[in-house]
Amino acid sequence: MSETALGLKENATPAGRATKLVIYSLVLVVFAGPLLALLVSAFNHVSDPTQLSLVPTSPTLDNFTVAVDQGVLKYLLNSFLVVGFGLLLQVTVSVLASYALARKRFRFMSLVFVAILATLMLPEEILAIPLSIILADVPVIHVNLIGTLAGMIVPLGAWAFSILVMTEFMKDVPRELEEAARIDGAGELRIFAQIILPMCKPALGVIGVFGFTMIWDQYLLPLLVAQDSSSYTLPLALRTLRIDPIVTPGVVMAASLLALLPSVIVFLFFQRSFVHGLSSGALKG
Amino acid sequence: MSVEQLSPVAAPATTGAPAPRSRNGGRDGRWWIPWLFLAPAIILFALFKFIPMGNALVMSFQDVQPFLGNKWVGTGNYATMLASEGFHQAAWHTIVLAVGQTVGSMALGFALALLMEGQSRKLGFIRSAAFLPVVVPMAVVAELWRIMYHPTADGMINSIIGLVGLGPSGFINDPDASMASVIMTGIWRGAPYDMMIFMAGLAGVNRDLYEAATVDGASRWRRIVHVTLPGLRSVFTILFVLAAIRGLRVFTEVFLLTNGGPNGSTEVVMTLIYKLGLEQNRLGVGAAGAVLLFVATLVLTVFVYLLRRKENR
């Protein structure tokens, strides 16, 4: 067995095993425990914050019924629309740009690349106020996107992380394939769509998974764009639910469960892509 | 650590090195093809990144009055911001929060990574479970912790720390404990992320050095200090910069957990900007605050970058 920093052995003495068991249980309790409490409380009568617990005492589905009465399904639909169209736009824009940046050589190429990369250092929080002004009156076309889902979706198209990951990956696709297709008379679009893109599936997985979790976690942008509850995404709606005096913590937990499930499911299914992307995710600002 | 080393995914199997690129992207006279592919990105980045950034700069020198026209006020907004007690406090809180979350997450993440290293098969489940907080939306994390932080003795965390004779604490409702509570929530969500990155880094540390150290009779502690830590130096730097930047721009968890309260004890720069800009409509002053925050981020990044370059020489 290879050495580790702590020199932990897989087959330790009974005492060592017991220590390990205690430590790992502690890790589980601390990090997964609160989420388990959320899960249990969503299916339990929790009329008061002190009743949050890990053991269901009075199981019920009422929390979800109330949550649905409060319009949670509409918020969930809004969230899905934003993540669906947002991700589609983000991935499309990114692969197109990456194709040019990775496979072509042209004047000002490095300038464009550096300008895009520089936005990694530009937290969206800092842009919040001017961005909301832009969205109220988009330059050139003069459309007001405030209060619309489109206002939450369109800005998602500009995400440098995806372009960076995709460009690095596309650079390594062998030239020969492209040359052969070109000799066969394939046009630019065909080379892009049928030669290069299919070779980039692992990178597509990474930008897809990261894009999904990033968009699903969005808070400030939807907060700026949404004007009333009709365009709330589910994360935004949680706060409104909590403030409503007739809504119990159990209902908030039920809505929270719906809000966390999609990203947790995506993570569990695409764990490999996620972990691969993490190290490069270290680059995003 | 360079971009290449961090390359996210294994490259597709290449049949030899990529051939040198021809000058005009393959064909002469079709210079516009790359621009066609780049057009959507350029338009969106311009609209939603560069123009807003430019506007933020311009607005920070203006008294912004919608419908009335903006007035130049020179550095007036900056003077207002820098002279205000509220901004000083918010800046200080932001630094405390950023440092607390960064150091806490990295220390805990490093410890977790050491514990989980090399036990991959059995620990896959525990690792995935420990990682879940990272993918849970911040809004959910905040709502969950609000309930766990319930200030009475029978609140969840209070009853746990009550078992060892501590508390009850008011947590986010107590001005003396609110900042620590926000930091704790941040560490809970940040540590597993750092753990994953550290684990990737640990896999790259030269095994022979461990063996050599063991042969030389070095203790576990000395092995970590003299072999593991130096091997992870670049990972530490990257994580530190990212976490610090993330800490400086912190918004959602503070907004939802305390909204700056109680008594302004957790007001950070972003929540202050939000209140100034969007609730009080003092857009110019808010923009000046945003630009100051941006400069702080930039200075930090450049500083660490220069430090690393010096180190590498």
List the domains of chain A with CATH numbers.
14-65 (no CATH), 71-281 (1.10.3720.10)
Size of interface A-B (CB pairs under 8 A): 350
ipTM surpassing 0.85: yes
**What share of residues in chain B are helix, strand, coil (percent, to 5)?**
70, 0, 30
Residues B77, B188 within the same domain: no
Please give the C-alpha separations between residue B151 and each of A2, A49, A125, A242, B262, in angstroms, as whole numbers.
48, 10, 30, 16, 13
CB spacing of B33 vs A271 below 8 angstroms: no
Q: Binning pLDDT at 50, 70 and 90, where does residue A12 land?
A: low
Residues B254, B184 within the same domain: yes
CB B169, CB B152: distance < 8 Å: no
Residues B205, B266 within the same domain: yes
Q: Binning pLDDT at 50, 70 and 90, where does residue A279 land?
A: low
Spatial distance between the Cα atoms of A108 and A97, rounded to a whole number of angstroms:
14
Among B22, B28, B147, B173, which would you mutate to test the A interface (most chain A Cβ atoms within 10 Å of its Cβ)?
Answer: B147
pLDDT at A98 over 90: yes
What's the gap in Å between the CA of B313 and the closest CA on chain A? 23
Residues of chain B neighbouring A281 (CB-CB closer than 8 A): 8
Residues of chain B neighbouring A199 (CB-CB closer than 8 A): 12
Residues of chain B neighbouring A249 (CB-CB closer than 8 A): 147
Whole-model pTM over 0.90: no
CB spacing of B136 vs A127 below 8 angstroms: no
Residues B190, B98 within the same domain: yes
* Of residues A165, A184, A177, A38, the one with CA closest to residue A94: A165
Its domain, for residue B239, covers 87-281
**At residue A284, what are phi and psi to the nearest 5 degrees?**
-75, 145
| Interval A10-39 mean pLDDT | 84
The answer to the question of residue B132 being in a domain is: yes
Q: Quick: pLDDT tens for B1-36.
A: 333 333 344 444 444 444 444 444 444 557 888 999
- Compare all CA atoms of chain B with the CA of A249 and give the residue at the minimum distance: B147
Q: Quick: pLDDT tens for A178-190.
A: 888 888 888 888 8
CB spacing of A277 vs B42 below 8 angstroms: no
Q: What is the pLDDT along chain B (313 residues), one digit of tens a residue?
A: 333 333 344 444 444 444 444 444 444 557 888 999 999 999 999 999 999 999 889 988 988 776 777 788 888 889 988 988 889 999 999 999 999 999 999 999 999 988 887 665 667 788 888 889 999 999 999 999 999 998 888 888 888 888 888 878 888 888 888 999 999 999 999 999 999 888 888 877 777 788 788 788 777 888 888 888 888 888 888 888 888 888 888 999 999 999 887 888 999 999 999 888 878 888 888 889 989 998 988 888 888 778 777 766 6
Q: Provide, rounded to the nearest whole percent, the portion of chain A with pLDDT above 70.
A: 94
Residues B132, B227 within the same domain: yes
Residues B70, B173 within the same domain: no
- Nearest-5° Cα angle at B221, B218 to B222: 45
Residues B180, B63 within the same domain: no
3-state SS, residue B263: coil
- Compare all CA atoms of chain A with the CA of B291 and give the residue at the minimum distance: A126
pLDDT at A14 over 90: no
Residues B114, B153 within the same domain: yes
CATH number at residue B171: 1.10.3720.10
H/E stretch holding B72: strand B71-72
Q: Quick: pLDDT tens for B30-73.
A: 788 899 999 999 999 999 999 999 988 998 898 877 677 778 88
The answer to the question of residue B31 being in a domain is: no
Residues B159, B73 within the same domain: no
| Predicted pLDDT at B29 | 57
Sequence-separated (6 or more) residues with CB below 8 Å from residue B70: B59, B62, B63, B64, B284
CB spacing of A220 vs B251 below 8 angstroms: yes
Sequence-separated (6 or more) residues with CB below 8 Å from residue A92: B40
Q: Binning pLDDT at 50, 70 and 90, where does residue A22 land?
A: confident
Residues B144, B277 within the same domain: yes
**Structural domain total, chain B:** 2
pLDDT at A31 over 70: yes
**What share of residues in chain A are helix, strand, coil (percent, to 5)?**
70, 0, 25
The answer to the question of residue B226 being in a domain is: yes
CB spacing of B130 vs A31 below 8 angstroms: yes
| Interval A67-95 mean pLDDT | 95
Treating both helix axes as pointing N-terminal to C-terminal, what angle do A14-42 and B85-116 enclose, rounded to 10 degrees?
130
CB B178, CB B262: distance < 8 Å: yes
Minimal Cβ distance to A97: which of B25, B38, B132:
B38
